[in-house]
């Protein structure tokens, strides 16, 4: 058996009977924490090591990522498609300046790329499609971001 303890809104410890850490008998070998807006799962799978043996970035598990693959896979054929595309990117906190090379865009908090190597060519296609309309994609993005995040 075991138990889960919420330390605060930014961390959770999981204790398992018969397990511990080098620093503490019966200590929590599983720890979920949020630092600078980034959730990370730390695991001590070796009781003889002081530092965590595994660090897992949990940003892919955020609810905002649900349907992310569908978002970028759908071609932009209408202004409504563009609005849907930009809205999903904004909800996932993956908007960027469309003139910048997609493969160089990183998350300011985590330092990790916003798009994988597999996503880059697809995003490039979507960006090209955005510029096929009379509206300005930059202004549309700022308007949508403002509606989602406020001023």
Residue 96 confidence (pLDDT) above 80: yes
**41, 55 in Cβ contact below 8 A?**
yes
What's this model's pTM, rounded to 2 decimal places? Answer: 0.56
For the chain, give the mean pLDDT.
87
pLDDT band at 69 (very low <50, low <70, confident <90, very high): low
Angstrom distance (rounded) from CA 68 to CA 88: 8
Query: Residue 64 has what pLDDT?
Result: 63
Instruction: List Cβ neighbours of 56 (8 Å cut-off, separation of 6 or more).
Output: 40, 41, 42, 43
% of the chain exceeding 90 in pLDDT: 46
Q: What is the pLDDT of residue 103?
A: 93
Question: In the sheet where 30-35 sits, what is the strand order?
Answer: 2-8, 11-16, 30-35, 38-43, 54-57
8 Å CB contact between 53 and 44? yes
Listed in sequence order, the residues at least 6 apart from 40 whose beta carbon sits closer than 8 Å to its beta carbon are 32, 33, 34, 55, 56, 57, 58
Output 36 or 29, whichever has higher pLDDT. 29
Mean per-residue pLDDT, 98-102: 94
- d(Cα 105, Cα 128) in Å, to the nearest integer? 17
Summarised one tens digit per residue, pLDDT across range 44-63 is 999 999 999 999 988 777 77
Residue 35 pLDDT exceeds 90: no
Q: Report the pLDDT value the prediction gives residue 68, as an integer from 0 to 100.
A: 61
């Amino acid at each position: 058996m075991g138990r889960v303890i919420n330390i605060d809104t930014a961390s959770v410890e999981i204790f398992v009977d018969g397990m511990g850490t080098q620093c503490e008998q019966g200590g929590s070998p599983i720890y979920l924490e949020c630092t600078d807006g980034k959730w990370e799962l730390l695991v001590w799978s070796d009781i003889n090591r002081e530092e965590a043996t595994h660090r897992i970035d949990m940003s892919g598990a955020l609810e905002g990522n649900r349907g992310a693959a569908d978002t970028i896979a759908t071609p932009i054929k209408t202004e409504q498609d563009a609005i849907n595309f930009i809205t999903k990117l904004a909800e996932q906190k993956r908007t960027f300046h469309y003139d910048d090379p997609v493969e160089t865009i990183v998350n300011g908090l985590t330092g990790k790329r916003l798009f994988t190597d597999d996503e880059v060519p697809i995003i490039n296609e979507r960006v090209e499609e955005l510029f096929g309309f009379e509206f300005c994609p930059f202004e549309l993005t700022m308007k949508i971001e403002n509606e989602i995040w406020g001023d």
